[in-house]
Amino acid sequence: MTNHWIDYQHSDVIMAIGVNTAENHPMSMRWIDRARERGAKLISIDPRLTRTAAVADLWLPLRPGTDIALLGGLINYTIEKELYQREYIVNYTNAAYILDSGYFFADGIFSGYAEGSYNRDTWSYELDTEGNPRKDPSLQHPRCVFQVLKDHYARYDAETVCKIVGCSREDFELVASTYCATGAPDKAGNILYAMGITQSTHGSQNVRATAVLQLLLGNIGIPGGGVNAQRGEANVQGSTDMAMLYHILPGYLNMPQGMDHPTLADYNAKETPASSYWSNKPKFLISMLKAWWGEKATPENDFCYQWLPKLDGKNHSHIAIFEAMARGEIQGMFVWGQNPAVGGPQAELERKALENLDWMVAVDLFETETASFWRRPKADPASIKTEVFLLPAAASYEKDGSVSNSGRWIQWRHKAIEPPGEAKSDLWIADQLYKALRYHYSLGGVFPDPILGLNWDYGQGEEEPDIEKVALEINGYEIENHKPLENFTKLAADGSTACGCWIYSGYYNDLEDPPAKRRIREQKGIGTHADWAFAWPLNRRILYNRCSSDPSGKPWNPKVPLVFWEGGEWRMNDVPDFAWKDNPPENTAQSPFIMLPELQARLFSPGMADGPLPEHYEPAESPVHNVLSSQQNNPVITWWQGLGKLATREDFPYIGTTYRVSEHWQSGIMTRNSPWLAEMAPEMFVEISVQLAEKLGISNGSQVFVSTPRGEIKAVAYVTRRLKPMQVDGKLVEIVGMPWHWGYRGLFPGDSANVLTPHVGDPNTTIPEYKAFLCNIRRA
């Protein structure tokens, strides 16, 4: 999130797209309602009449997977009606930048395309003789970003958009006129999204489309505005920050690649930009290496840079890991608080792939479907070789530690009780695992140095590790005296500082009164609650907040001033997100995005795998042809071998989509083992429209089979008016909706929706396309 939950109270219009916030983030409604008490409007964009849609001022039913068509339509509406905030985009974005003359877009393909991928050289700026990008602040140059954007989205006229999305012209106009009115300088439009946006073969571009619209309307960096990703798990923000991902190290440093970064000097040269705050990157990496390998990391050995594994240039994401496992290339797996046998796409493929493992270590509160894959229905344990260890973990209140919410607030959880039986905290399990490995490598082994040399001293023997030592290491300390660093501005690249995750620096900088444990509510102010917990980075609650004021420093909305220039100085209700010290407004007016080399936001982005501007493509499986171009799907999708044949429209005529209910959480392993919750939502169901039920002779409450080429599931039919057939390009399209919380374990077992979903993902992130696929349904 750029902003945070409580800040929603300052919004004038809230557009929830691809997020059912009332059911899946119920507490958000508290702050949405606070805004509505002032007259704010809530728009829900969702295929179903969800509980969010039911209480919204406007609901626009959208065909799954067509978000870019809708958002592109809103971008076009904003430009056509001149509702964009000109002064904001000229100063705060790359709207005025002139593009390379080689850039073009034709029939769904951008310049540089060849054989399934893009050469991005032409997605760049034209440079002047001094090497700086050429700009036209009048925004008239035909190759300036603004004009290119205008041309690109002129194709997204209302008629075309409605044809793709399946909504009425009236609904589109109403949503457009309501939302795009937030282009007024003193109005705040807020876009909320979740997995309805991301789980798509163009998910990253869906997100980009929300950002482009928000920038045009001047809605980034202001109270009540922002692009607010409502994340699905209590600490998915934190686990991302800590780099439980193959492509990054903690704090969003790219993982070293063998071919690009053979040495630390290569890494620093290629990964450190000349401008932006990332010019400090060597300080972050070297401080991390000092945190990991302590005294062993010296300037002479490049701070043990070579002890980090290097990537092979290939994808190692969830889908790729299971494809490799299915091919027999992966022999052992840790699966820690995760349940891919229910939550992974094309679940039968993934369950079967687990049989190829020699060993699996699963750590959880309850027995997961993943840990018990060898005794799943129809499996024959006698033919499965895998050795499985299932380790009992402590629940959230049975241990100490911090979690980071969607608003980047790092909050401490205190241990209330002992875990039951022999269950242990994950911290203890990690510590014991390391100690056992260290013992075995002390006896010899292949290249034991990075293991034996690891800076690891959190507790003796089998005692609970001292979590404060871990927190201090993440926060950072001075090597000389182990004093906590105030924050990451104190980091050095010479080995004199250690810091495990630079963006968290400051969260635990006072051992007597750690900011992450602070609980002081704001008495008066705009709801930033600066003394409640700690928000990364630097306790900043709203990112890009220079944009909350005009170039001269005057707040766009004087009723909610955030960071503004008054009486010859910066005044602030938040930690400024720009170089503000001794720097008057004119010096900072064109550098509000300190993490980008341009220091201005990118309406046009050269960094994506699949195009510098979001373009509509159909999902991998779709009931219709792409209306906008002859390019049916995102042209740079990876078609994995495990996916097999796609569903045909003839055999699988309906759109399948998945979602969650309030009473369950993700793969359901915690909630299906909670008697209160399992009782409230005991059974797997699929929702279909009244019309489809009549056509197929399915009665409410009866059993049905839903199938795709990947498999078949049985569930209870829920015939509902919440789903309606949609008119898409002259064709009537039906949607089959289903939650994905069930599996073969827990108090109430049920079939898993992910048996149906495909092994295909977004080209930037490889997030699977759970939200739009083709299926069939029949009476059981």
Partner 1 sequence: MKITRREFFKLTGLAALAAAVVGCDWDKDPVISYPLVDAKEVTTICPYCSCGCGAICYVVNGKLVSVSGDPDHPINEGALCSKGASLLNLNTVYNLRTHSPETNPNRLTKVLYRAPYSKVWEKKNWRWAMDRIARRVKETRDATFESQEKGVIVNRTLAIAHLGSAALDNEENYLLAKLMRSLGIVNLDHHARL
Name which of 163, 179, 31 is nearest 726 in CA terms. 163
The alpha carbon dihedral of 174, 177, 179, 180 has a sign of: positive
- Minimum CB separation of residue 75 from partner 1 in Å reads 27
Work out how close the CB of 270 gets to partner 1 at its nearest, in angstroms, rounded to a whole number: 14
Cβ 282 to partner 1 shortest distance, Å = 19
Is residue 507 within 8 Å of 500, Cβ to Cβ?
no
Alpha-carbon distance 470 to 472, whole Å? 5
Q: What is the DSSP string of 365-377?
A: SS--TTTTGGGST
- Which DSSP letter does residue 751 get? -
Burial class (CB in 10 A: 0-12, 13-18, 19+), 523: exposed
Q: How far is the CB of 409 from partner 1 (least distance, A)?
A: 6
Nearer to partner 1, 133 or 223 (CB): 223
* Packing angle, helices 67-80 and 145-154, rounded to 10: 120
Smallest gap, in angstroms, from Cβ of residue 661 to partner 1?
Answer: 9
| C-beta closer to partner 1: residue 44 or 78 | 44
How near is the Cβ of 152 to partner 1 at its closest, in Å? 29
Structural contact between residues 332 and 358, judged by C-beta atoms closer than 8 angstroms? yes
Residue type, 562: L
**Considering the complex, what minimum distance in angstroms separates the CB of residue 594 from partner 1?**
24
- The answer to whether the CB of 658 falls within 8 A of the CB of 753 is yes
368-371's contacts with Cβ under 8 Å and 24+ in sequence apart are 368/335, 368/339, 368/341, 368/342, 368/667, 368/669, 368/743, 368/745, 369/339, 369/341, 369/342, 369/667, 369/669, 369/743, 369/744, 369/745, 369/752, 370/335, 370/338, 370/339, 370/340, 370/341, 370/342, 371/335
In terms of Cα–Cα distance, which of 755, 769, 732, 777 is closest to 621?
Answer: 769
Q: What is the DSSP string of 348-366?
A: HHHHHHHTT-SEEEEEESS
**Smaller CB separation from partner 1, 511 or 680:** 680
Nearest distance, CB of residue 739 and partner 1, angstroms: 14
Cβ-based nearer residue to partner 1, 241 or 550: 241
Query: Within 10 Å of residue 426's Cβ, how many Cβ atoms?
Result: 16
CA dist list (Å): 402 to 334, 517, 555, 729 = 22, 9, 35, 50
For residue 371, give the nearest of 387, 347, 394 by alpha carbon.
387
The secondary structure of residue 286, as a DSSP letter, is H
Minimum Å gap between C-beta 80 and partner 1 is 36
**CA–CA dist 744, 368 (Å, integer):** 9
What is the chain's length? 780
Helix residue ranges, H only, 327-462: 340-343, 347-354, 426-442, 449-452
Retrieve residue 98's tokens. Answer: 């002139």
Nearer to partner 1, 134 or 316 (CB): 316
Residue 587 has phi, psi (to 5 degrees) of -80, -15
Name which of 139 and 360 has its Cβ closer to partner 1: 360
DSSP labels, 720-738: ETTS--EEETTEEE-EEEE
User: Which of 591/657 has CB closer to partner 1?
Assistant: 657
C-beta closer to partner 1: residue 93 or 237: 237
Question: Measured from the CB atom, is 133 or 344 closer to partner 1?
Answer: 344
Q: Report the candidate in 34, 37, 156, 137 with the shortest Cα–Cα distance to residue 87.
A: 137
Tokens of 451: 């293991």
In angstroms, give the least distance from the CB of 721 to partner 1: 23
Query: What minimum distance in Å lies between the beta carbon of 365 and partner 1?
Result: 6
8 Å CB contact between 107 and 629: yes
Q: Which two tokens stand for residue 743?
A: 């599996």
Residues 420 and 434: beta-carbon distance below 8 Å: no
Q: Which is nearer to partner 1, 61 or 250 (CB)?
A: 250
Smallest distance, partner 1 to C-beta of residue 393, A: 7
Q: How far is Cα 535 from Cα 598, in angstroms, rounded to an integer? A: 25
| Residue number with CB closer to partner 1 (85 or 206) | 206
- Among 184, 190, 180, 194, which Cα is nearest to 35's? 190
**By C-beta, is 366 or 718 nearer to partner 1?**
366
Kindly tell me which of 495 and 606 has the beta carbon lying closer to partner 1: 495
Kindly list the distances between the CA atom of residue 376 and the CA atoms of 324, 351, 738, in Å, as whole numbers in the listed order.
22, 9, 22
Least CB distance from residue 335 to partner 1, whole Å? 5
Closest to partner 1 by CB, 69 vs 474, is: 474
Minimum Å gap between C-beta 644 and partner 1 is 20
Q: Least distance to partner 1 from the beta carbon of 97, Å? A: 31
- Closest contact distance (angstroms) between CB of 611 and partner 1 is 21
> Which residue, 539 or 626, has its beta carbon nearer to partner 1?
539
- Going by the DSSP 8-state scheme, the letter that residue 22 receives in this structure is H
- 181/379 with CB nearer partner 1: 379
Q: How far is the CB of 420 from partner 1 (least distance, A)?
A: 5
Q: Are 717 and 685 in contact (CB under 8 A)?
A: yes
Q: Is 653 exposed, middle or buried (0-12, 13-18, 19+ CB in 10 A)?
A: middle
Output 121 or 418, the one with its CB closest to partner 1: 418
Cβ at position 243, least distance to partner 1 in Å: 5
| 130 vs 513, beta carbon nearer partner 1 | 513
CA dihedral (219, 225, 226, 228) positive or negative: negative
